[in-house]
Amino acid sequence: MRRVTLIPGDGIGPEVTAAARAVIEASGAQLDFETAVIGQQAEQATGSPVPPSVFESIERTKLVLKGPTYTPFGGNYRIRIQRPGADGKMEERSYPSLAITLRKELGLYVNLRPIKNYPNVPSRYTGVDLVIFRENSEDLYVGNERMVDVDTAEGIKLITRGASARVARFAFDYMKKVGRRKITIGHKANVMKMTDGLWLKATQDVAKAYPDIENDARVIDALCMELVIKPETFDGLLLTNLYGDIVSDLCAGLVGGLGVAPGANIGDDCAMFEAVHGTAPDIAGKDLANPMAMILSAVLMLRYVGEGEAADRIDAALSAVLGEKRAITRDLGGSAGTKAFTEAIVQKLKKP
């Protein structure tokens, strides 16, 4: 039995992770869960937003299913944790959000986000089927910034050849493994000649070792425009951390919205699966969240641990429920709640 660390998260997190767990359990996958609480609740109970017991759980399982976690806007909010440094001595490290804390501390350097049309999920487009590879460890997104004075703020955009090449190798290897054909590298090297220039050079250098996979490059703003005009022409997108964050939501919008876009954070020996969406405070606790993105993140997790058969069964059950159009959540034009939608999938899985 493979163990998973389950982080319910905040807002709609507990509702959508409970849905994903119920579906995994009904699929017959050989997975066992241990729940770990992070954030404000953990801080109140233990004094730390990510207590050592959470890291211990993840070090044991090397596998995390995570609900979204809350981060306040603005101010100087930081997540502060005590962990051993490179020399083994305890040190304090701080990050702008819980999700970034886990991605950085666990060495999860790739954020993988498949985007595709699902049958009966309303969308303006058809034929969209692409994979986003987002660099997950550096760039402006890690929040290395400071107030210079009360009217001036600055942020550091750090790009390294090593991290750029690492995510590029993952992306090209993945495309080769799953039989995809082309990667488009997004950048703004015409203006950010050094940072994005280095990103472009490092990723294109890696591309040379993969003659079977086509590659091209687009300035990020033009890429966004092309994505909304002809998204079906893209196959793989390789993006820096901040552009990847923004373009992921744009692409979720191409196929039905944030309720349907799953994601995985992957490192060399550990992986964390979470939806693209956040805590959705406007609908939290109301049985209104679409758990599909979280369930599809669980499907990615099942494939990652070699439970492909259970993953296929869940995919089929989900498609069947969408196809019947009886239990559709509100964001997709239906009126079913989170629980009713989940139960419909569970019932499909239970049928022989």
Q: Which residues bind ligand NAI (CB under 6 A)?
A: 12, 16, 68-71, 99, 258-259, 274, 277-283, 289-290, 293, 331
For 329, which DSSP code? B
The nearest distance, CB 270 to ligand NAI, in angstroms, is 17
The nearest distance, CB 71 to ligand NAI, in angstroms, is 4
Do 164 and 202 form a contact (C-beta atoms < 8 A)? Answer: yes
Nearer to ligand NAI, 11 or 51 (CB): 11
Nearer to ligand NAI, 68 or 337 (CB): 68
User: What is the DSSP track for 191-218?
Assistant: TSTTHHHHHHHHHHHHHTT-TTSEEEEE
| DSSP-based three-state secondary structure for 336 | strand
Contacts of 75 (CB under 8 A, 6+ apart): none
The nearest distance, CB 99 to ligand NAI, in angstroms, is 4
End-to-end Cα, the chain, rounded Å: 23
Nearer to ligand NAI, 64 or 207 (CB): 64
Contacts of 132 (CB under 8 A, 6+ apart): 111, 112, 113, 114, 115, 236, 237, 239, 244, 247, 248, 251
Which secondary-structure segment (H or E) carries 152? strand 152-155
- Rounded to 5 degrees, φ, ψ at 210 are -125, 70
Residue written as token pair 């997709």 = 332
Q: Which amino acid is at 264?
A: A
Do 291 and 16 form a contact (C-beta atoms < 8 A)? Answer: yes
Return d(Cα 110, Cα 113) in angstroms, integer.
Answer: 10
Residue 265 pairs in a beta bridge with 111, 272
Nearer to ligand NAI, 39 or 231 (CB): 39
The nearest distance, CB 67 to ligand NAI, in angstroms, is 8
Do 239 and 272 form a contact (C-beta atoms < 8 A)? Answer: no
Nearer to ligand NAI, 20 or 302 (CB): 20
The nearest distance, CB 12 to ligand NAI, in angstroms, is 6
Nearer to ligand NAI, 68 or 334 (CB): 68
Nearer to ligand NAI, 13 or 51 (CB): 13
Using CB positions, name the residue nearest to ligand NAI.
Answer: 278
The nearest distance, CB 10 to ligand NAI, in angstroms, is 8
The nearest distance, CB 259 to ligand NAI, in angstroms, is 4
